[in-house]
Structure 1
Amino acid sequence: MVELQKAWVYKEYGKFQDVLKLDEIPVPEVTPDQVLVKVEAAALNPIDFKRGLGYFSKTDSPLPTVPGYDVAGVVFKVGCEVSKFKEGDEVYGDINEYSIDKPKQWGGLAEYTAVEEKLLALKPRNLTFAEAASLPVAVETAEQGLEQANFQKGQTILVTGGAGGVGSQVIQIAKEVYGASLVATTASTKKLEFVKSLGADVAIDYTKDNYEELPKKYDVVYDTVGDYPKCIKAVKDGGKVVLISAYGDAPAINLGLVADGKILTKLAPYFEQGKVKPIIDPKGHFKFAQVIEAFAYLETGRATGKVVVSIGE
């Protein structure tokens, strides 16, 4: 059994370029319902650096902290109550059931991490570890938002920020899984063709048009960029607005993600058939030694899809 591992750790809150360091820490022990994952790849999320800045300090786990939510890797050890996985299985998932309420002290930007069985799923065979790691937070957020909005086949949806990590998945899942009759999205000029390639029927250039002033209204508006209350103006009477980066009053749904491996299992056929695809930024694939650079790129807000780190290379 490996006793020590390399991991990215911060011992105080602050900007990651100042506080995040590559260090050696003990490999975590597994509880009966956990598996120990040898991490092959991890994806970065805005919540990682927001947590690092201390935004959630009142509900955070104690410092020091290894950041990281999304992981993909190989099961190295299983707890005594684990029944779904065995050593050698390739798995992936969001390792924190609740994003800001006591997330794990020892996260995914490490060689090994301990994860509850219920948060994981078997990795689709057609996906690389990096591709799989890019999915959990984004697709689980997309799926739970659509589910809570009671989105139905034949309905219309507007997605703000369709080129981003969550937005790119909402477009695909609304179209391919839920059967949306029309998907509209906002994007910058240079990303309009990209969001159309994901399945968007209408691509609105937010540098030229104010979507909330256009005549078309939608059954659901899924806001990934914090556009409340502008997005309220784009929804039909009786429609729903899903918010993940802002908080608002009814009819807004303030989504708090609850990670669940069952969602990944449900969506597996769509991944395996290529109907819902992982989206990794062309410049957003980094090595384990480049985590600081990876976060710097994520924080520009310009990434198309997800930023990922390969750990097992």
Structure 2
Amino acid sequence: MANTPSSYSSIPSNTKAWVYSQYGNIEEILKFDPNVPTPHPKKDQVLIKVVAATLNPIDTKRALGYFKDTDSPLPTVPGYDVAGVVVNVGDQVKKFKIGDEVYGDINVNSINDPKTVGSLAEYTVAEEKVLAHKPSSLSFVEAASLPVATITAYQGLEKVEFSSGKSILVLGGAGGVGSLVIQLAKHVFGASRIAATASTSKLEFLKKLGADLAIDYTKENYEELAEKFDVVYDAVGESERGLKAVNEGGKVVTIVPPGTPPAIPFGLTSDGAVLEKLKPYLESGKVKPILDPKSPFPFSQTVEAFSHLNTNRAIGKIVIHHIP
């Protein structure tokens, strides 16, 4: 392998990974396989030695066959979020070199042709454009938790033209995406007022993130509040109720399809440039990765980690580390 330092000269032809060969409940179909062929980077890709990976709800939906018509062929190694070290580069790659610490969402499009070998493996490949240099102030675990949730939060706010001085209500403020929407709305976009919903035990957490108003959805109907908002960011699938909480001319964006018109359904396009743009906020600590208290799970407990994800009770992100 050209230009490979001796420390990386022994990239194995097979990689340890978690794999499923049929669609179904991911906790039942996921199996450990020590002999998955190590992917080779194309011209615009890098090969990453995975250090940490993060689970996302889309992994579960993909395993259930929700988008099998556009999915990569089985068997599948799941995993979108990655943080790791570049060990080989395609000949058109300019931004990264061997030895660089990188992170990103490896799938350009979440639903159309996601990669066969995802990030729940020792090695995975990703296009140069979806990756960013890992901020030095973040651990691999923290960095791995960010890409899908951060890019979704940022691009969703852009989609509804959120800007300084506007108010926002975040539905599901304690979740992976919602916790970042609050932080980005406050520190990057300059929101005038932030409200967010969560269950009783998570209200203090919302305030720590920067919410001015923490709403207990188990006790209060947010759509009945006298106060209305310029934007409602729906991370839980309640766009119909969200439409009753916006002021005249306000907008609702939802990341849970299909959404009730005129709410705007939204899915991310993976983009390393968004992560690079947010690097100063991450390095200064203004925007913080939010890890579930049980994170990280060891690689050997990936199935247990998915079980925890599927309770929908996680706070922030569930990370797998250390990957062998």
The normalised TM-score by structure 1 is: 0.99
1:65 counterpart letter in structure 2: T
Q: Specify which of 129, 154, 164 is matched with residue 118 of structure 1.
A: 129
Q: Deviating runs (4+, > 4 A) in structure 1?
A: none
Correspondence for 2:27 among 17, 22, 36: 17
- C-alpha contact (below 8 Å) 1:111/1:311 kept by paired residues: no
Counterpart for residue 213 of structure 2: 202
Question: 1:88-103 residue pairs with structure 2 within 5 A?
Answer: 88-103=99-114
Which segments of 5 or more consecutive residues in structure 2 lack a partner in the other structure?
1-10
Unpaired runs of at least 5, structure 1: none
CA contact (8 A) 1:159 1:184 kept: yes
How do 1:231-250 residues align onto structure 2 when only pairs under 5 Å count? Answer: 231-250=242-261
Give distance in 1, aligned partners of 2:302 and 2:109: 23
Query: Shift of the alpha carbon at 1:253?
Result: 1.3
CA–CA separation in structure 1 for the residues paired with 2:283 and 2:166: 25
Residue identity over aligned pairs, in percent, reads 63
Answer yes or no: is the 8 Å Cα contact 1:228–1:246 preserved in 2. Answer: no
Question: Is 1:226 paired with 2:237?
Answer: yes
Instruction: Give 1:311 shift.
Output: 3.3
- Answering whether residue 176 of structure 2 is matched by residue 182 of structure 1, we say no
The structural deviation recorded for 1:44 is 0.2
Which structure features the higher share of strand residues?
A: 1
**Alignment pair present for 1:275 and 2:286:** yes
Residues 13-22 or 116-125, more deviating? 13-22
Could you say which residue in structure 2 is the equivalent of 1:36?
47
Query: Could you say what secondary structure the match of 2:120 adopts?
Result: coil
Q: Distance in 1 between matches of 2:179 and 2:262?
A: 23
Deviation of the 1:284 alpha carbon: 2.9
Size of the aligned set, in residue pairs, is 313
Partner AA of 1:214 in structure 2: L
Give, in angstroms, the shift of residue 312 of structure 1. 3.4
Contact 1:284-1:297 within 8 A present in 2 as well: no
Counterpart CA distance in 2 for 1:279 and 1:104 is 26
Q: 1:7 aligns with which of 8, 17, 35?
A: 17
How far, CA to CA, are the matches of 1:167 and 1:229 in structure 2? 18
| CA-CA distance at 1:249 after TM superposition | 4.6
Question: Taking structure 2 as the reference length, what is the TM-score of the superposition?
Answer: 0.95
The question of whether the paired residues in 1 share the 8 Å contact of 2:162 and 2:231 is answered with yes
The aligned runs of 1:284-303 (5 Å cut-off) are 284-303=295-314
- How many angstroms apart in 1 are the aligned matches of 2:44 and 2:18? 25
Any idea what the Cα deviations from partners look like across 1:246-297, whole Å, max 9, x if unmatched? 3235431110210000000000000000000000011132000000000000
> Partners in 1 of 2:314 and 2:323 — Cα distance?
23
Between the aligned partners of 1:236 and 1:285, the Cα distance in structure 2 is 40
Whole-Å separation in 1 of the counterparts to 2:27 and 2:292? 21
**Local SS of the residue matching 2:256:** coil
What residue number does 2:264 align with? Answer: 253
